[in-house]
Amino acid sequence: MNPRTNVESGNDFRRRFSARERLVGTFIKTQTSHAIEILGDVGFDFVVIDQEHAPFDRGAIDIALLAARASNIASIVRVDEARASSILSALDCGAAGVLVPHVFSADKAREIASWSRYGGGRRGYSGSARAGRYGATPVWTNVARSDARTTVIAMIEDPEALETIDAIAGVEGIDGFFIGRGDLTVSLGAESSSAPEVQDAVRRISAAARSANKPVCVMVGSATEARSFQELGATAFIVSSDQGFLRRAASEALKEFSRTEV
């Protein structure tokens, strides 16, 4: 049976994320719609279009979001930096939400939340983009729908964020957190992501999220690794990327030929 059968559309991502349903997604690093279509067809819950660490401009993001919509898979954009213009363009193009890097203070978290929503916030309004059905949605209907569906995930990946993590977690308008183990490993000067200081940071972030009743997302290498984070409260998992899946499949195919006479 197709694992996407009876699964909610990408527009329902915020509800599922907030309800702590187990969600599995992956990063999109290449400017192609095809990988997103395949992932949607396979049954992944969401994709993260990576503007921060991959060559995505607004045009490429727009096409990627169109592919996600066509494939009935939720689309999150990891914006290039925590700024209003990056968040606005992703949401106007129809993203279900944004993953915002380097949220290192409660003040920065409040700015991000404000830039992401109309009501009580400072998101610039336009009804002419995909998010407003190209002018077909009445203004206040568009405002209400956009605010209800937009998911704002703060990436916690800096040592200074750990010092005020409880205050960050309590910011209204931040829907959840992504634990950036890679950046934490480098910034803490740790030997690896499994080093004690990184594990301690993971526990601190997880505890703050639990106290604030907010979900946690983390990147994992396997379902086995995901179980240890699930015990700490994580419910959304990013596994590899389109490039990672391609590399793994290509490597396995080549190894198979090296082991077999043809």
Task: Find the CATH number of the domain harbouring 99.
Answer: 3.20.20.60
- Please report whether residue 201 resides in a domain: yes
Q: Is the per-residue pLDDT at 118 higher than 70?
A: yes
| The pair of three-digit structure tokens given for residue 245, joined into one six-digit string | 């899946």
What is the domain extent for residue 29?
10-259
Mean local confidence (pLDDT), 57-73: 96
- Please report whether residue 5 resides in a domain: no
| The pair of three-digit structure tokens given for residue 118, joined into one six-digit string | 């109309």
CB 223: neighbour CB atoms within 10 A? Answer: 11
Evaluate whether 91 touches 123 at the Cβ level (below 8 Å).
yes
Dist CA 260 CA 77 (whole Å):
42
CB 110: neighbour CB atoms within 10 A? Answer: 16
What is this structure's pTM? 0.94
**How far are the Cα atoms of 90, 257, 260 from residue 28, in angstroms, in the given order?**
15, 28, 33
53 as an active site residue: the answer is yes
- Please report whether residue 88 resides in a domain: yes
Residue 7's pLDDT band (boundaries 50, 70, 90)?
A: very low
- Please report whether residue 89 resides in a domain: yes
Which of these is catalytic: 22, 53, 83, 247?
53
Dist CA 26 CA 44 (whole Å):
8
Total domains present in the chain: 1
- Please report whether residue 4 resides in a domain: no
- Please report whether residue 203 resides in a domain: yes
